Structure formats: structure tokens, C-alpha cells
Amino acid sequence: MTTLVASESRFVSLAAIERELARPWQHPGGRREEQTTRALMGNLIAVCRSERERAGLEREVAQIVPHYPTRALLLVVDPANQSAGIEASIALQGCIRGSSLQICGELVIIGAGGPGTPRLASVARAVLLGDLPTSLWWASPEAPPLAGELFSQLAELADQVIYDSAAWADPLRQLVVTATWVSGSGRQVASDLAWRRAKLWRRIIAQSLDPTLAPGALEGIEEVHIEHGPHALTQAWLLSGWLALRLGWVPRGGKLLPGPGVSWSFEWPHGRPRVEIRRHPEGEPDIRTVRIVTRVDGRPVTFRFELQAAGRVAVSAERLTDRARDRLFESSVALARTMAEAVL
């Protein structure tokens, strides 16, 4: 029987973080059979921009920890706060197995105002556990490269940079900036959670249009209609980019539609397919439906897909353990940038 437990967070000085986190498992005390152990797979640096974002992010990190035991460093960087001070608090999360406590989450919350921002990277360097994979989760609703020096410094410490383009306020411009960064990110693996959440869409489209099941369906695509909830334009955009990339469609032009929406035309030896992306005013920030108008064995067929996308926590936890570079994502982002630049 496993019971999840969490300690209250408490304030500590920056210099005492390591000592306080190590205390329960390094100097366990108690009886031998009441051992405290620690499970840790990696470091996670999660960055957000306000106390309001912090509450949600803290909840998500707490949900990730049972799947991915981690030392999580949650940086709350509030530019509106003009205090130069930096505050730290720590909390532990664990599970009780029999009479043993296994610590699987070490949460360090660092709060800083605008003037304290330049100091945060040095705090992170001191708190990260050595010799473990480190992921930077840019959980703020802005493209990471637009965050300036703090992002560059934290990305240097990470093997992987995770962000969620679903939250972006100006998605196309931010997509262009981010795509440029992704193409030159060097050793860091870039991961967009919006792209990861679209994996099920890619799979179902690929399987449904497979030539063995639906002969001629790929060559016969005439129209693709993607409908998405608010803040999911980049997800739809990336799905279009992926489709175009894999089928070798060459973008011919795009235009913004009232509604709002975007329309794209492509060209390839089998015809001139068109992609239309439309936004629903309400709902989850994910793709809602995909409709593909094509021909199977010469007969007109419309495939309509409707899916419940995986949650952000599940996708994040999966991404933390699967750190492989995703070439398909990188190529899709590059094509999506080309498409975005054309309509901007």
C-alpha cells in the first residue's frame, strides 16, 4: 500500500537550501526499519511570471512528481515586483511504503522581483543536483527566447527546454522567434507541449489515411479543416506544418480569414491541397476537430476526427523521461515558421 504525503512548505535562507533538503534522508534517525530513502530521476527548473501562475504550476509539478521523481526548482519571477530580495521556501513530497518513507519530490520555490532576476541563475546552479538530467520548463505565457538573459542562462544549465506554445498571446510572431531558437539550440533538446499533445492527432491521421487501409487517400487530399479552442493556433499550425512536411507539400500562400482563421494553399504533384484553420471562441486550448476531404479509390471521402487530447501533466511527465531530440518536431517548426512569416 502506497500513501502519498507532502510536507508544508517553509521558508529557508538561500544558503541553507541544500542542507535542509538533505536532512530527512541523510540523517534519518529513528529505527532502522523506518528508513527514509530518496528517489530522484532528474532536476526540473520551472519558471513562471506571477503568483497566480505559480499556484497552477505548483499543482502541476506536484502531479508530475509521482511519475518523475525530481528536484523541482520553481522560479517565480514577477517583473511587477520591484523588490531586489529573493525568497526561498522548500517542501518535500513522498510516499509511504510499509514503514518506509520515500521522498520523490524536493520542491524549492524561489521568488524574485524584477531587480532580483539577474541573480536567479546563480541560485539555480547551486541548487541543481549534479549528474542528473536537467529540464527547463518555461511555463510562462511567452516564447522562451523573448525572456532574454534569464532564459539563456537557465537554458545553459538544461539538457532539455520545455515550453507550451498554447499559452502564447501573439502566437505567430512568437512561433517565428522560437523556431529560430529551436534551429540553433545546440545540445539542448527543445520540446513544445502543444506539439506533444498533438501526437494523438498525428497518429490517428497517419493510421486512417494509411495507403493499405485507404488507397489513394494521401494523394487525394483536397482540403484539411482544423478547428481549435482559444490559444491553440500554434498547435494547429504545427499540425499543418507536419502534414505538409511529411507529404512534401510546398506552401504557395496564406491569408488571414475573418472569424478568425487562416487559410493556406499548397502545391504538390498530386494537386493543390488547401488547409483552413478556424478558432472556436471557447473551450480548451487544444485542437477540437480535424476534417480531411480526400478520395479513396477514386471516390470522395471525408474523414472527421474528434479527440480528447492528453493532459498537460501527463505530457510533461512523459517528456521529462523521453529526452530524445525530436527531429520531426524541429522540421515541422521550421516549416511552420515559413508559413507564419508569409502571413505576418
Partner 1 sequence: MADVIAQNPLTAGLSASLIPQPCTLVIFGGAGDLSARKLLPALYNLSLDGVLPANFAVVGFARNELDDSSFAAFARDGIQRFSRRPVADAHWAEYARSLFYAPGSFADPQAYAELKRRLEKIETEFGIPGNRVFYLSIPPSLIATCVDQLQAAGLVADPREGPISRIIVEKPVGRDLASARAINEVLARAFDESQIFRIDHYLGKETVQNLLVLRFANSVLEPLWNSKYIDHVQLTVAEEEGVGTRAGYYEEAGACRDMVQNHILQVLAMIAMEPPWSLAAENIRDGKLNLLRCLRPVAGADVDKQVVRAQYGPGYYHGEDVPGYRREDGVRRDSTTETYVALKVLIDNWRWAGVPFYIRTGKRLPKRASEAAIYFKPVPEILFNTNRDELLEPNVLTLRIQPDEGFSLRLSSKLPGPKVRIYPVKMDFHYGATFGDSSPEAYERLLLDVMAGDATLFMRRDAVEASWAWIGGVLDAWEASRTRYVPEYAAGTWGPIEADRLIESDGRRWRTL
Contacts with partner 1 by CB under 8 A lie at 13-15, 18, 22, 25-28, 40-41, 86, 116, 118-119, 121-123, 125-126, 128, 130-134, 157, 321-325, 327
- Could you tell me which of 126, 140, 154 has the C-alpha nearest to residue 13? 126
Q: Closest distance between partner 1 and the C-beta of residue 29, in Å?
A: 9
Taking the C-alpha atoms of residue 336 and residue 341, their distance in angstroms, rounded to an integer, is 9
User: Quick one: 223 or 322, whose CB is closer to partner 1?
Assistant: 322
**Shortest spacing between CB 26 and partner 1, in angstroms:** 5
How far apart CA 300 and CA 270 sit, in angstroms, is 15
- DSSP 8-state assignment for residue 81: -
Tell me whether residue 147 or residue 158 sits nearer to partner 1 (CB atom).
Answer: 158
Q: Specify the pairing of strand 160-163 against strand 189-192.
A: parallel
| Cβ closest to partner 1, residue 73 vs residue 166 | 73
Q: Which is nearer to partner 1, 131 or 282 (CB)?
A: 131
Min dist. Cβ of residue 216 to partner 1 (A):
32
Which DSSP string corresponds to 191-240? Answer: EEHHHHHTHHHHHHHHHHT-TTTSTTTTTT--EEEEEE-TT-HHHHHHHH
CB 123, min distance to partner 1, A: 5
Pick 315 or 339: Cβ nearer partner 1: 315
Judge whether 46 and 57 are in contact, CB under 8 Å.
Answer: yes
* Shortest separation between residue 9's beta carbon and partner 1, angstroms: 18
* Residue partners of 75: CB distance under 8 A and separation at least 6: 45, 46, 47, 48, 110, 112, 120, 124, 154
CB of 110 to partner 1, least distance (A): 8
Of the pair 299, 327, the CB lying nearest partner 1 is at 327
Nearer Cβ to partner 1, position 157 or 204?
157
Cβ nearer to partner 1, comparing 87 with 267: 87
Comparing CB distances to partner 1, the nearer of 115 and 215 is 115
* Shortest Cβ 3–partner 1 spacing (Å): 20
Between CA 292 and CA 226 the distance in angstroms is 9
Cell numbers found for residue 231 = 490559444
Cis peptide before 260 (omega within 30 of 0): yes
Shortest CB 47 distance to partner 1, Å: 16
Block residue for cell numbers 520542491:
107
User: Do 167 and 285 contact (CB within 8 A), yes or no?
Assistant: yes
User: Min. distance of Cβ 312 from partner 1 in angstroms?
Assistant: 20
What b/e sequence results for 95-104 when a residue is b if at least 16 CB atoms lie within 10 Å of its CB, and e otherwise?
A: beeeeebbbb
Nearest Cα to Cα of residue 313 among 45, 61, 7: 61
Residue 88 to residue 96: CA distance in whole angstroms? 26
